[in-house]
Amino acid sequence: MPIKITVNSFMLLVIYLRSNNITKILNSLKYKISKTYYFMKNISVILNISELQDAYLLDWKKIKKKFLSIKVFIIGINGFKDNKLKQIILNSGLLVFSENHKTNIKKKIIL
């Protein structure tokens, strides 16, 4: 067989967004990365938007691109409030995770 697939327990970093201002989000994230560079270098994250107001207004493609520019890879979004927002996020090319999706959280970062 050319590949082997196994199920392993791994942890994910979840970032809780609390602002619609992409510049503020990135500046806060850059600051946190500067304090923990080796831990957060080239890291994959899930964005939780459950505390975010007016998530419809965000340009999710732009957010994905901006996060990639600082070597933070968004593997999915959770915390969406309805199917319309879920579809907007999916249309941007990002994955969505339901709230009941179980993950092991390595660290919680509030932005």
Share of the chain above pLDDT 90, in %: 46
In this prediction, residue 3 carries a pLDDT of: 66
Q: Are 6 and 97 in contact (CB under 8 A)?
A: no
In this prediction, residue 101 carries a pLDDT of: 46
CA distance 29 to 58: 17
The label of the residue with tokens 């199917």 reads 83
Average pLDDT over residues 23-44: 84
CA distance 93 to 78: 14
Average pLDDT over residues 32-44: 79
How many other β-carbons are positioned within 10 Å of the β-carbon of residue 29? 20
Write down the pTM of the prediction.
0.78
How many other β-carbons are positioned within 10 Å of the β-carbon of residue 79? 20
In this prediction, residue 88 carries a pLDDT of: 94
- Minimum mean pLDDT among 13-17, 48-52, 62-66, 105-109: which range? 105-109
How many other β-carbons are positioned within 10 Å of the β-carbon of residue 8? 4
CA distance 61 to 72: 14
The predicted-structure confidence for 90-100, as pLDDT tens digits, reads as follows 999 999 988 65
The label of the residue with tokens 């938007």 reads 49
In this prediction, residue 110 carries a pLDDT of: 60
Average pLDDT, the chain: 83
